[in-house]
Amino acid sequence: MRAHKHVTRHAVLIVMITMSLLASGCTSGTANTPTLLPPNPPIKTATPAVTPVPVTATGTPVPATTTATLMPIPEITLNPGAFYFSIDGQPSFILSRNLAGYETSQYDQLLDLTSLGGSKFVRVQLDSLGMGYSNTGEVDEAWAKKWEDIFERAASNGIAVVPVFGVWYDWNNGNGYSTWKSNPLNEINGGPAKTPVELFTSDSSTQKLWRRWMKTLIERWQGQKNIMAWEIFSEVNMVPGTTEPQAIDFVNSATSMIHDADTFHRPVTASLADFGEWSRFYRNDAIDFINIHPYPLSGKLDTTIITEVHSMLANYRKPVLIGESGLSFETPDSNPPTLTTADRADIGIQHAIWAAVVSGAMNGRSLWWEDGVAIYFPALHLPFIQKYTNADLPASNFVRGVDFSRFQPLTSTSSSGVWGAAIGNEKTVLGWYRDANCEPPNWDLRPVLSQQTVTITVPGSAANWKIDFYNTKTGADIVSSTLVTRKDNKVTITLPDFTDDIAFKIYPLS
């Protein structure tokens, strides 16, 4: 654990397993606490006949499109030694989302909203449409066809997909949210598993059947061009009784099988809930990129993202994906209300997206409730998700065309009125800074910030640099420009007057 080191892993596990949860074990990046889910799975109801009316985070309607246009599928790859995915050959920062639903029609709605924003890929937990296997490990054909329809719908919108094969709550025989009793591989359903931990027992009958099921799917789906990576399991350390050596062995054997089955050799990942000291898990060569799930108790998602990504990069020297994130781990219909539904929560979400851009993470956004899981909650459903349709567009505009080759977090300091970070290389530096007083739960903003400064240690040897300052509400509009001269290995920037936050790009002139 990075916080509360006096709490034992066993004690934290007991607390986490006894909590109520919905559709994923999502944990705080700083507080070692999982996403709370409802005490019972959400009641399955017919999908309301709602035609999506996309709006911005501030409620402005998005103009409707009149014709459907098939979007080109970008080629997304992860080259050896790279810290960012490449889009059509160029290392790039990517926006992403988590989708959820009981029916393919709900995924269709969410994919349409995704295509109106700036996200290029979606992460989907395959068990949301059922576990997909029989008690003998055979693929559920009707289930597989539903997912293939969703993959094709994503492809038609130019969106890539990361399928997640296993999720901890399907293997939870403890208290709290659990689908273990309906798991086909459970012995009460005719399967071989007496306990969930048998999935992680080397060469057990349960592991062999599950692995064969996954291999069959990968062989079947490998030709789907918009699948960009495989996620073996989400939050493996949430399964009661599983040890780090077992989890590593499980991931190793699954990865070996994936490499044999996938002739396109896509990258592979698996994730942990953020508690315990499983440092060897992410150092394992079988994991191509780290997969974090920040849900800070403080609601300070932007600061948590930057802090945690910096730590992961320093400790593991591997690419870091934000797999899931949110302002609160609790369900969005909790009473009392959580920060997720706070009046000014959209400010916190926007700040988190911009923070991801300058953090060193491969991606940004990747929200849990706001991207899709709120669809399970009748009081929120699609209208709540629609509020954030375009939340990623400004950041997407800002990073468009930027080559992230050799980008790394840069050392920076700032005057007391602002907070943020910078990232870059000797050719381009990106920065984002916000009102330092703008913190949850109210996200109060001062009317104008003036004469704030930022000092950045820049790579290379160029003496003179040009700075373009950008409006963060669009990510495309330059509000002003200036020139600065390097002193030693640093440039000091005086920010123009602004409210809320400001972004900038720096280029060497000589």
- Calpha distance 316→323 (Å, rounded): 17
pLDDT at 510: 73
pLDDT of residue 301 exceeding 80: yes
Q: Which two tokens stand for residue 184?
A: 């086909």
pLDDT at 60: 42
pLDDT of residue 29 exceeding 90: no
Confidence of residue 57 (pLDDT cuts 50, 70, 90): very low
- Calpha distance 352→364 (Å, rounded): 8
Q: What is the CATH code of the structural domain delimited by 408-508?
A: 2.60.40.1180
- Calpha distance 247→262 (Å, rounded): 22
CATH fold label, 9-399: TIM Barrel (3.20.20)
> What are the sequence ranges of the domains in the chain?
9-399, 408-508
**Nearest residue to 230 (alpha-carbon basis) of 262, 273, 208, 274:** 262
pLDDT > 70: percent of the chain: 86
pLDDT of residue 31 exceeding 70: no
pLDDT of residue 160 exceeding 60: yes
- Calpha distance 356→94 (Å, rounded): 10
Q: Which two tokens stand for residue 98?
A: 């988590």
Instruction: Please give the mean pLDDT across all residues of the chain.
Output: 87
pLDDT of residue 34 exceeding 50: no
Q: Which two tokens stand for residue 189?
A: 């359903």
pLDDT at 2: 29
**Nearest residue to 122 (alpha-carbon basis) of 140, 102, 97, 139:** 97
pLDDT at 71: 75
Per-residue pLDDT tens for 428-449?
999 999 999 999 999 999 999 9
SS3 435: strand
Give the mean model confidence (pLDDT) for residues 298-326: 97
At residue 450's C-alpha, the angle toward residues 400 and 58, to 5°, is: 50
Per-residue pLDDT tens for 445-472?
999 999 999 999 999 999 999 999 999 9
Residue 326 contacts residue 26 (beta carbons within 8 Å)? yes
Residue recorded with tokens 């296997």: 133
The 3-class secondary structure across 59-115, one letter per residue, is: CCECCCCCCCCCCCCCCEECCCCCCCCEECCEECCEEEEEECCCCHHHHHHHHHHHH
